[in-house]
Structure 1
Amino acid sequence: MSYTTMVSINGTTQQVFNAISQHVQKWWGNTDNSVSSVGDEFTTSFDSTYWKFKISEFEPNTKIVWKCIEAKHIHNGYDGIEKEWEGTLVEWVLEEKGQNETILNFAHNGLVPELNCYEICFPAWERFVTQSLKSFVETGTGMPHLS
């Protein structure tokens, strides 16, 4: 089963959506572009690792899906992970819970326990989605990996 998580964020669906589409560098990693429609592309990098994504779904304030179209994942002690994300889908679905509360349902479709990178990617997504993104929306300060 692919990795999923859910988090409640004190913020509007618009604030959360903007963080995911416009401000990835503020909560995840170095990012070369913001996105505003299907077909847009961006790359996020950590040191010598990078992932390139193409937007396959874009429904403002509701849903965005990133398709990984290129990957070079390097992590000491992990062999065979370089291209594992290629073809996977990172899906963000937003639900308005209250006036200033959004439920974020996150799935990385294709990130499964059988992948060599799962044991490092699972806790990394937990940190970046449930802590860093949440903190960025709620306080203006995330915890990205910038190098």
Structure 2
Amino acid sequence: MNDNSLTIAFTVDRTPDQAFAAITNVRGWWSGEIDGLTDELGAEFTYRYQDLHRSTQRITELIPGRRVAWHIVDGHLSFVDDTTEWTGTDITFDIVPTGDGTEVRFTHVGLAPDYECFERCSSAWGFYIATSLRSLINDGSGQPNPKEEDAS
């Protein structure tokens, strides 16, 4: 992690193409309501989780087996004073073949430690990336939160 970004990396025993397919299947690993295409260059998709988080991501890079990047066009976080902390930030997934699998390196560029949301956001990203996405790549089943109507 550098001073202006959050980075989470892990290695899986899968191919770069399998990692890429899982990353672009956003509904398979990230909770909440997702509207729009998540696997087409230039497309925008919206993410909403209850009344806590709403954001619009534009897919700015889509290189099969190598890289996925999103630009946060608009964001609203209801649990912090500056509700637009995510607006203008970027999210990247770098996919690198290794000797025994594939490294996935997630970076939320612009999510700085001095942001009010940093602790909560980095904790949530830690779960969605290192646990849910990793599980989707490894086992074909992510661990997004249950939908509100499914939660007990």
Q: With the length of structure 2 as denominator, give the TM-score of the two structures.
A: 0.86
Matched, 1:4 2:7: yes
How much does 1:33 deviate? 2.6
1:87 equivalent in structure 2: 88
Distance 1:96 1:117 in 2: 32
Distance 1:133 1:87 in 2: 24
How much does 1:110 deviate? 0.2
Which structure 2 residue ranges, 5 or more long, are not aligned? none
Deviation >4 Å, runs of 4+: none
How much does 1:108 deviate? 0.5
Which of 26, 48, 54 in structure 2 is aligned with 1:50? 54
Secondary structure of the residue aligned to 2:11 is strand
Residue identity matched to 1:112: A
Query: How many corresponding residue pairs?
Result: 142
1:117 equivalent in structure 2: 117
How much does 1:35 deviate? 3.1
Matched, 1:32 2:32: no
Secondary structure of the residue aligned to 2:39 is coil
Q: With the length of structure 1 as denominator, give the TM-score of the two structures.
A: 0.89
How much does 1:17 deviate? 0.8
Which sits farther off after the overlay, 106-115 or 27-36?
A: 27-36
Residue identity matched to 1:86: T
Secondary structure of the residue aligned to 1:143 is coil
1:67 equivalent in structure 2: 71
Distance 2:86 2:12 in 1: 27
Q: What is the identity percentage for the equivalent residue pairs of Structure 1 and Structure 2?
A: 30
Distance 2:92 2:45 in 1: 15
Which structure 1 residue ranges, 5 or more long, are not aligned? none
Aligned-residue Cα RMSD (Å) equals 1.5
Secondary structure of the residue aligned to 2:120 is helix
